[in-house]
Structure 1
């Protein structure tokens, strides 16, 4: 058996863990797929490159409201796709070469624990004093009768298709919202089948309701609906869908399944490795990201439920420190995990939603400010965007914030920082200058209203 000081399982955020501070140690990375993980290869980065192109097409079509006469020729999908992956695909080999040239052993086969801190990699067993488990997650494949008989796509494969036929989307979360925006902006007819009463059910209900209304103007959206079976039909697929008004058959050339993600721990032999798992298959770890096996740490989608790259990056930095400084173990000082949905309109959130505050009987006050109430909102001719802030009436601190509209993921950042630093709405609203007439005034006005 080959022995290491440190073995990292997973080369997404796990690859970020290794820096020059580990140069004196014998290290290895195990990655059976592509370096960069989901984010670089089939998630955050390529999808946002597509979103940028979709935004450009959508903005051009919408420019007439500003007095600008434009037209959009059919989008060259293959040119858009090839621009994205011509930049991304070469990065895997260069990352592997970089690690090997700098003394890190790279294993490209799938690995499983056969005992605590003993890893089987193809025909070889390796051990280590320390392991960092960052094996990520993958799309959930629902148990729908007939699904195995049709050619369907997930977020792993949808961005590499050759053309853009009419498509049906099973799921109403952030992946459906983002790809619905991308493909409809490129001229594709979209049907979304959502089990719940609204799209983006994890968002604040006011944001979710607004987005559902807007999405329903662009796509065919079936709510409170369930796909009970699928079957091949012609060059595509037919899905039987049960809706409140009865049973429908939805036909499309392409089927996209996006009903959630699951941790890859079932492929890791976690139980044989002595790792405790929660009911969802995530590795159980303490606030310092130590697992049930001494010397084994975990980070990213394998351990947390956020499925956020920025959270995994923060965890990678923390685990790096804790491995190198076992006498000074740290925990994340801020557990506020803000997500954003790069759809149209853009959505960002942090902290409590109003429905969560009601459910948990949290005393709160809230204010909502429309983009249209600001000078820049006027300039945009925006009539649907708003910023919403929830605050504790006694402590006067921010409990949550939710924005739907242009630049939402950027606009929410000062509210994230205020929550992380424990600032009051008075401090952030009154003691900070907001540039006029920038769009940040929608945040300022929401705070002043509190």
Structure 2
């Protein structure tokens, strides 16, 4: 039996950062990772970093070179992340699949070898995995990929179908279109980008259509049949059956918490009706000495949320219990289509439904000197302001460099600033962020 002060299951952002924190406090820490291709977690290996690397390079590199560059980057980051932990004398890394034996004991299986670890504090950071829909012929097809496996595809598909019109699907649609693939997005909802205001969704739809991305709404995929050189995908729209001949099919219908092999029942850990590990505001599970961080606990699936989960756990262990999930308002997000879409806070529709009296500011990207300079004039900026308090309730930016600008808005909202701060602030020129001057100048006092 190997006894540790802490066991961390999963090598993700929250888990690896916590491992270093505990080890530096002279805790003995066991880190369990089932795949040697996942050191560092989802983000650097199969998520943000490789996908955004390919997206960035789609404007400047041939596909094959972009894939090689991506592979070189993640190999470097994976090794760096492994060494950061392995070189710490208080951390022991175990390769294998973890499963609970009891609430203090974890079994690690690797091939025919089994090890048992025990600790009075256990942290679960196993992430999420792609949802595989129940579609006839899908599991037997040789041309179906997840967002993980498709990034290892060495040859650019001439024609690709993407099942799912959510943010992941749209990011890959934008990227493959830029590389030169003929892209069709099949979304089973009749509403495009249902979380966003209609003017935002319409602008994104219009821009993607202009880039020759074919978006089919209310399209339900019914089956796949492989051929000699690809697959025939069947789908139904308004009771009419269609066939689509493609080289590759990408599944992008969502992700679910990765809990199947953990044997949570043995530890008495409860899950939600959506299959996520149930946690309180301090990320403790229903077993108080076991915590869950990152995607496995449900909610927002961003690496920066996993990092903030680490901060919550650190405060729970060593701090004053001042930081918990109740502090997590106005979290920004970005969708790396072209141009990127970024948002924080309430949409116009949400603010109205919640009873706010609002003022709305809009500014076309074409009005920004920097956008003209870099020849990226698609999209617009939009902000929602409380009419009575002058506080910013939310903003949506569909424009070049929006993934950077959104953090300025998020910080202003977090610190409770009036919109006039950004209206009157002195920004450098020519930049995209200076557009905040003109955006908030649209608000009439």
TM over 0.5: yes
1:180 matched to which residue of 2?
Answer: 173
1:283 matched to which residue of 2?
Answer: 277
1:225-259 C-alpha deviation (Å, 9 max, x unpaired): 11011121232111111113721111101111111
List aligned pairs for 1:234-313, cutoff 5 A: 234-244=228-238, 246-313=240-307
CA distance in 1, matches of 2:231, 2:405: 41
CA distance in 2, matches of 1:44, 1:105: 27
2:12 matched to which residue of 1?
Answer: 12
Shift of 1:180: 1.4
Equivalent pair of 2:364/2:380 in contact (CA under 8 Å): yes
* TM-score w.r.t. length of structure 2: 0.91
Shift of 1:283: 1.6
Partner of 1:389, secondary structure, is: strand
User: Residue 329 and residue 395 in structure 1: after superposition, are their counterparts in 2 closer, same or farther (change >3 A)?
Assistant: closer
CA distance in 2, matches of 1:373, 1:87: 36
Partner of 1:272, secondary structure, is: helix
User: Residue 96 and residue 381 in structure 1: after superposition, are their counterparts in 2 closer, same or farther (change >3 A)?
Assistant: closer
Shift of 1:55: 2.9
List aligned pairs for 1:418-429, cutoff 5 A: 418-429=412-423
2:139 matched to which residue of 1?
Answer: 148
Shift of 1:365: 2.3
Q: Which of 98, 106, 124 does residue 93 from structure 2 map onto?
A: 106
Is 1:88 aligned with 2:74? Answer: yes
* TM-score w.r.t. length of structure 1: 0.90
What count of residue pairs does the alignment treat as equivalent? 430
CA distance in 2, matches of 1:95, 1:367: 43
Shift of 1:29: 0.3
Shift of 1:81: 0.7
Partner of 1:46, secondary structure, is: helix
Shift of 1:88: 1.4
Equivalent pair of 1:193/1:225 in contact (CA under 8 Å): yes
Equivalent pair of 1:370/1:442 in contact (CA under 8 Å): no
1:441 matched to which residue of 2?
Answer: 434
Is 1:127 aligned with 2:127? Answer: no
List aligned pairs for 1:310-325, cutoff 5 A: 310-325=304-319
Shift of 1:290: 1.8
2:154 matched to which residue of 1?
Answer: 162
1:103-158 C-alpha deviation (Å, 9 max, x unpaired): 31111111111322321212232221111111100111111121112121011111
Structure 2: which 5+ residue stretches go unaligned?
A: none
2:323 matched to which residue of 1?
Answer: 330
Q: Which of 51, 55, 58 does residue 59 from structure 2 map onto?
A: 55
Equivalent pair of 1:133/1:298 in contact (CA under 8 Å): yes
Deviates more, 1:21-30 or 1:328-337: 328-337
Deviates more, 1:210-219 or 1:342-351: 210-219
RMSD over aligned CA atoms reads 2.0
Shift of 1:93: 4.5
2:105 matched to which residue of 1?
Answer: 118
CA distance in 1, matches of 2:278, 2:357: 32
Structure 1: which 5+ residue stretches go unaligned?
A: 58-74
User: Residue 130 and residue 195 in structure 1: after superposition, are their counterparts in 2 closer, same or farther (change >3 A)?
Assistant: same
CA distance in 2, matches of 1:91, 1:374: 36
CA distance in 1, matches of 2:374, 2:77: 38
CA distance in 2, matches of 1:382, 1:330: 40
Equivalent pair of 1:198/1:209 in contact (CA under 8 Å): no
1:61 matched to which residue of 2?
Answer: none
Deviates more, 1:16-25 or 1:300-309: 16-25
